[in-house]
Chains A and B, each alone.
Chain A
Amino acid sequence: MFEEHRDSLFRFLYRLTRNAPDAEDLLQETFLAVWRKRDRFEGRGSAGAYLRRTAYRLFLNARERTNRRAALAPTTVGTEACDVPGDGGDEHERREVIGFLAGRIREALDGLPDAAREAFVMFRYEGLTCAQIAAVTGAPVKTVETRVGRATALLAARLRPLQHHMSHL
């Protein structure tokens, strides 16, 4: 189970924590928690969903303990420094555009309210449906829809002006 779900669960946690060391810690804690309570897993849902739900709960606990998002804040978030243009080449330009866009997107995601950001990340990057997100977070499906919709509107306001950069990729 570890081998099967390790990478996807790590990516899930990394997107939530935005910090690789914290994601690694939570990953370990998730598997250990599931192992300790393996008798409670009734096998009614998928193991992946059960792991995600546990991981999300542990993530929330960790965040609550630290009581501030900064404690789980990214160490690498921000606009990446770009090389000075001039050495030419489409690939160089492409890398620059990607670095720039990635920085802006991370900033925009960080600017979202916690619940909206988490719902959006699961929806957009983990490919979970609203119902699946509801199962992970314990929130009603309608609430998940509202959170993702709100995140979408906020992100659109911030990111739409950058859309034309995509033509350089």
Chain B
Amino acid sequence: MNDSTRLDRIRALAERRLSAEEDERLRRELAADPELARLAEDFGAVHAVTAVLADDGPACRTSFDDLARAAEREPVFRRRWTRRVAAAAAVALLAAAAWYALAPAAAPAVVLGAIELDAAPAPAPVPEPPPGLAHYDPRGPGGVAWLDDFQAASWLSAASGRPLLVFGEIRGCPMCAKLDVDVFTARSVVDLIERYVPVRFDLDALPREEADALMRRGYPFLEVWSDRLEPIRPLSRQPDPAFFAESMRDGLAAADAEGEVASWDELRSLARTLDRARERETAGLFAGALDGYRALAGGASEPFRRLGDCGLARIAADARGTLLHAREVARSDPGGAEEVLRRALQRYAGTDYAADLRAVLERLRDSGRFPAVTAGAPRQPS
């Protein structure tokens, strides 16, 4: 044979074309050279998989007549120019100037009981729960109801005390389709998924290196992760529900998540409270919104507590902003400032902030000037 380089012989090995003697000699070489052995192993794996494309490609359609015709008219390789698309973007810059001046206080200051004059530091962004959590159940009617947002799934994992069941797939993967049909609809698996937060993602959507690194850990990618997105344990990839259910039970043990956890009903109830509070806030019914946020802020679930605190802080900031805005408007338009405060009173009806706004509005009406305001005694946070 003419195969001369090491690679040629490695290919011949993969294609079983070596004689017994050559085979034996190459295997001795591989045993003595780990780098070569690795190359042989890689090539064997690649050779096996890439066999799928061995007969790939359409049949040639060029005939001898085509060639003869082309020869007559001087051949020119027809290049297919790719259209170049140019995009232009225009950026507009806005300049803004802000100035503050206090109106001269002609009367005793209004002492504020609820509105904080000093701007509170902006609260850190709070991760959001999965949309639709108020109606979410991982046991969907057609099998496992997957989430597709890692941040939301991580949030839910922390809020519910359940580990993540992570499923990474490639679109169109037949193995994944088989898992969908045979495993993720099986009763035993769907029952157990109640103990997990199932999240599914498209490996192709990740940067290539990241996807490759995950796929090297197993494909289809199935692992149990913590709420901090740390891997805990791989799961079975066999398209067999019994194996998979067993693997899920092992995953729960490894994640130390076999004890009591909040029920999905409780979680949905908290999510509904949050949804209602936000709806009321959006509708300008702040008393109802504050009730909801306070209920969440005083609850046992840390992620929901943070969302409640965030809602309370947002409304407090709105109250302060409204007061400062009215003061600004009053400098040139006291009537306009009255209107600002009247509208705000509708939103804040039934809240502690309403008393402050009403006191300022009355003083403004009486004097025609925006009153001086001062902070009351420090209050405990709600």
Identify the A interface with B (CB < 8 A): 2-3, 6-7, 10-11, 14-15, 20-29, 31-32, 35, 58, 62, 65-66, 68, 70-72, 79-82, 84-86, 93, 96-106, 111, 123-125, 129-131, 141, 145, 148-149, 152-153, 155-166, 168-169
The one of B50, B64, B78, B172 in contact with A159, judged by C-beta atoms closer than 8 angstroms, is B50
The one of B5, B52, B173, B178 in contact with A131, judged by C-beta atoms closer than 8 angstroms, is B5
Whole-angstrom CA separation of A145 from B54 in the bound complex: 21
7 residue pairs A–B, Cβ–Cβ below 8 Å: A2-B67, A7-B60, A25-B77, A96-B177, A148-B7, A160-B45, A168-B174
A24-B53 CB under 8 A given contacts A68-B82, A85-B181, A152-B42: no
Whole-angstrom CA separation of A58 from B79 in the bound complex: 12
Is the CB of B34 closer than 8 A to any CB of chain A?
A: no
Contacts of A24 in B (CB 8 A): 60-62
Whole-angstrom CA separation of A7 from B67 in the bound complex: 14
Whole-angstrom CA separation of A58 from B76 in the bound complex: 12
Is the CB of B66 closer than 8 A to any CB of chain A?
A: yes
Contacts of A68 in B (CB 8 A): 82
A103-B172 CB under 8 A given contacts A22-B80, A68-B82, A125-B54: yes
The one of A10, A82, A106, A131 in contact with B53, judged by C-beta atoms closer than 8 angstroms, is A106
B369 to chain A, nearest CB (A): 70
Contacts of A21 in B (CB 8 A): 80
Whole-angstrom CA separation of A106 from B53 in the bound complex: 8
- For residues 34 through 67 of chain B, which have their beta carbon under 8 Å from a beta carbon of chain A? 39, 41-43, 45-50, 52-54, 56-62, 64, 66-67
A97-B172 CB under 8 A given contacts A158-B212, A162-B219: no
Whole-angstrom CA separation of A103 from B56 in the bound complex: 11
Is the CB of B11 closer than 8 A to any CB of chain A?
A: yes
Whole-angstrom CA separation of A14 from B57 in the bound complex: 7
Is the CB of B2 closer than 8 A to any CB of chain A?
A: yes
Contacts of B66 in A (CB 8 A): 28
Contacts of B48 in A (CB 8 A): 163, 166
List 8 A-B pairs, minimum CB-CB distance, nearest first.
A10-B60, A156-B42, A161-B219, A161-B215, A96-B174, A130-B5, A82-B172, A159-B49
Whole-angstrom CA separation of A66 from B177 in the bound complex: 41
Contacts of A93 in B (CB 8 A): 174, 178
Other than the known A28-B67, A32-B70, A86-B181, what 9 A-B pairs have Cβ atoms closer than 8 Å? Answer: A102-B53, A102-B56, A105-B52, A123-B7, A125-B50, A130-B7, A156-B43, A159-B45, A165-B175
Whole-angstrom CA separation of A69 from B70 in the bound complex: 26
Whole-angstrom CA separation of A103 from B173 in the bound complex: 10
Contacts of B45 in A (CB 8 A): 156, 159-160, 163
A26-B8 CB under 8 A given contacts A152-B39, A153-B42, A163-B48: no
Q: Which residue of A lies closest to B53 (CB)?
A: A105
Asked if A98 and B52 sit within 8 Å, CB to CB, the answer is yes
Is the CB of B379 closer than 8 A to any CB of chain A?
A: no
Asked if A62 and B79 sit within 8 Å, CB to CB, the answer is yes
The one of B7, B78, B79 in contact with A149, judged by C-beta atoms closer than 8 angstroms, is B7
The one of A82, A124, A155 in contact with B177, judged by C-beta atoms closer than 8 angstroms, is A82
Q: Which residue of B lies closest to A92 (CB)?
A: B174
B71 to chain A, nearest CB (A): 6
A27-B60 CB under 8 A given contacts A81-B172, A129-B5, A159-B46: yes
Q: Which residue of B lies closest to A32 (CB)?
A: B75
Contacts of A165 in B (CB 8 A): 49, 174-175
A130 to chain B, nearest CB (A): 4
A157-B216 CB under 8 A given contacts A70-B82, A123-B11, A149-B7: yes
Contacts of B4 in A (CB 8 A): 129-131
- For residues 1 through 20 of chain B, which have their beta carbon under 8 Å from a beta carbon of chain A? 2-8, 11
A20-B57 CB under 8 A given contacts A82-B174, A97-B174: yes
Whole-angstrom CA separation of A164 from B204 in the bound complex: 19
Q: Which residue of A lies closest to B14 (CB)?
A: A124
Asked if A71 and B80 sit within 8 Å, CB to CB, the answer is yes
Asked if A79 and B79 sit within 8 Å, CB to CB, the answer is no
Asked if A66 and B79 sit within 8 Å, CB to CB, the answer is yes
Asked if B50 and A141 sit within 8 Å, CB to CB, the answer is no
Contacts of B49 in A (CB 8 A): 101, 105, 159-160, 162-163, 165-166
Asked if A129 and B8 sit within 8 Å, CB to CB, the answer is yes
Is the CB of B358 closer than 8 A to any CB of chain A?
A: no
Contacts of B57 in A (CB 8 A): 11, 14-15, 20
Whole-angstrom CA separation of A124 from B74 in the bound complex: 35
The one of B2, B70, B171 in contact with A79, judged by C-beta atoms closer than 8 angstroms, is B171
A82 to chain B, nearest CB (A): 4
Contacts of B219 in A (CB 8 A): 161-162, 164
Whole-angstrom CA separation of A40 from B144 in the bound complex: 69
